[in-house]
Chain A
Amino acid sequence: MAHEVMTVETDVLVIGAGGAGMYAAIEAARRGAQVFLIDRSLIGRGGATVMAQMTVAVALGAETPDHWRHHVDDTLAAGRGLCSEPLSRLLCEEGPECILEMEQWGIGWARRDGRIAQAMAPGHDRPRCVYVDFLNTGPAVSKTLRIAMNKTDGIRKAGDLCVVDLVKVDGEVLGAVALHLSSGAPVRISAKATVLATGGLTRLYRRNSASGNMGGDGYALALRAGAPLTDMEFVQFFPIGHLAPRLVGMDPIMWDPFRYKLGGRLLNANGEEFAHRYGMPEDGKYVLTRDVATYGILKEVEAGRGSPHGGVYLSFQHCAESALRAAFGPVIDRLAANNIDLTKTAIEVAPIAHYHMGGVQADARMETQVPGLIVAGEAVGGANGANRLSGNAITEALVFGRRAGRSAAERVARMRAPPVRADAARAALDLVRADAPDRALNTAAMVQTLQTTMADDVGPLRTRAKLERALATIDQLTGALGERPAGDGNAFDLKRLDWLDLRNMLTVARAVAAAALNRTESRGAHQREDFAEMDPGWRVNQIVRLDGDRITLAKSQVAPEMAAQ
């Protein structure tokens, strides 16, 4: 079925309507730009922001004296020497402004004695994390931004638009080609500035904690447009993702707030606490950083001390029912509806893909190496180095989103009408409207094969043999995918969408596996069992580029801290 190409012109195209994209849209619009905000899902529903459970790290000093420099110090320490300091600094320094603006927009951060409450989280030197509600901070952030956006003039919004490729003219990105999912039609969007706020890549993994539409689209789009990526080997696993018993209607990372409030005991199959074996005794408090906890849990499982489903136990059996109810009220009823009584049973938890430290290389204005292409949020690489501190993801989404919106508006202000070149978009348009006999590919099964490979062979514990096996599977899948899209091209053609997604996912999976294979040391979220020690010689970032169809890697010195402005 052949569709006509629909066209849209705008000043700023923002791709992705999570926290970063919505803040970018607001900032660009209030600086005078016309904005078109699109998402492959519905506006403000997909992405990672809406899934965030609780903590947002910010040096407000509302309860305990704090300064953004302390927040930077903790961020850099967690990043194990690989943070791009200008980006870490931006995150920490501008965090308070964005958090307070969210308060003006009516988010209603939780308060204690009239002051915004700040909770202690692992890796922070003092209580620093604001929240709305223990399980609903993310949805509140999303909703607040959506309301603020609806009150801002100059923003057009559209869901069900999945970007297939960026459009480049004379070396600059000037918009994108998208597939309109609910009709199957191709859409050509011309823009003076394009903000990629597409989030991370957790969908590459079988078990993950973010929306199913975070398959690394933005990384692949950037690579194909010529923008390098950094730190792609560093995938953060959330150590205590829910594993069993089956639980519906709850986010798998829900146990984090339980641990903030009640501690909880992490136990192996023998009922023993084990955190001390990995250098971080818990002693009833929640102090384990994510990389150490992930490592410890997987090692216990490997040693035959895992739970029946292949994780470990998290127990609140020592907590009185009244304490549980006082802390979590209605959540206890939702657990009861799932036949879970925390006073009687320990639940099973295991590491789950959660966040990507790597991403598109950007400067502190969120500009990439390709003019016209700006990035925001999790799509940006570098601020969190080899391991992200808890609470930094939402702050990053807000701060980087705002900065990206400003850069986009500034570019629009200094640009004349962009040149229009019909041929620049042709290849991408041809992919969307490919009108060929359908191919007998099971694209959904291919996605599952890739997710299984990434989980088994490019997970938290890596070896040369596993990574080489993963790269071979990625090659096979890439060959099977071919160059001609599957599907019939009609409305909501998931087979064609899977095909387009696999095109991106396989490129990004290859970038992660190749960078992991090359890094012959262990650091933060990247643990090589065949190179168990951290190697000072590897205190460098790896830069990924695309050369034709080939991934190339180069080492780059870690960006030093900028002089104070």
Chain B
Amino acid sequence: MKLTAKLKIWRGLDRDSGRWETHEVPFEPGQSVLDGLRWIRIHKDPTLAIRFSCINANACKECMIALDGETVYACTARLEPREMTLAPLSNKKLVRDLVTDIAPPAERFTPPAS
């Protein structure tokens, strides 16, 4: 059974000059939002930025985004046959598109003071 999700995705490098982009994504029941985002990168636009490592296991906890305003893991949220709004976390520093700086400060790269 093939269904279609309409993913409305926030894109941009800073919060003031972003834009919304909508992609129709085919899926089978049970597939995750991360599956949908990976599908877009392969079939539509490889520049779409999303942070993830483990893909499916919910072990790395890197793929946190806002889905319809709620914080979710993209790998465990499921695609649904409706419009779904995906945005970067609002309380973290934006990096690009759906990627935010979620690492603890002590584990981020900061150039050494010269």
Q: CB within 8 Å of B: which residues of A?
A: 6-8, 38, 41-43, 45-47, 50-51, 138-139, 150, 157-161, 180, 182, 187, 211-213, 245-252, 338-339, 441-445, 447-448, 487-488, 490-495, 498
Contact = CB atoms under 8 A, between A and B. Distances in A.
A42 B78 contact: no
Contacts of B60: 41-42, 45-46, 50, 211
A443 B46 contact: yes
A159 B107 contact: yes
B30 A444 contact: no
Contacts of A50: 54, 59-60
Given A338-B30, A492-B95, A160 B53 contact: no
B56 A252 contact: yes
Given A249-B56, A441-B46, A443-B46, 18 more contacts: A42-B53, A42-B62, A46-B53, A46-B62, A51-B57, A157-B106, A159-B109, A160-B103, A246-B31, A247-B30, A248-B31, A249-B58, A249-B76, A339-B30, A448-B42, A492-B99, A494-B50, A495-B46
28 contacts: A41-B53, A42-B103, A45-B61, A45-B62, A46-B60, A50-B59, A150-B106, A158-B110, A159-B108, A160-B109, A182-B99, A182-B101, A211-B54, A212-B54, A213-B53, A245-B30, A247-B30, A248-B30, A249-B76, A251-B59, A445-B46, A487-B47, A490-B96, A491-B95, A492-B95, A492-B99, A493-B47, A494-B47
A442 to B, nearest CB: 5
Interface in B54-109: 54-62, 73, 75-76, 78, 95-97, 99, 101-103, 106-109
Nearest to B14: A491
A22 to B, nearest CB: 12
B3 interface: no
B51 interface: yes
Contacts of A491: 13, 95-96
A494 B41 contact: yes
A341 to B, nearest CB: 15
Contacts of A442: 42, 46
A212 B55 contact: yes
B97 to A, nearest CB: 7
Nearest to B101: A182
Nearest to A138: B59
B2 interface: no
The 9 closest A-B pairs by CB, nearest first: A246-B30, A251-B57, A158-B109, A444-B46, A46-B53, A444-B41, A492-B96, A211-B53, A249-B76
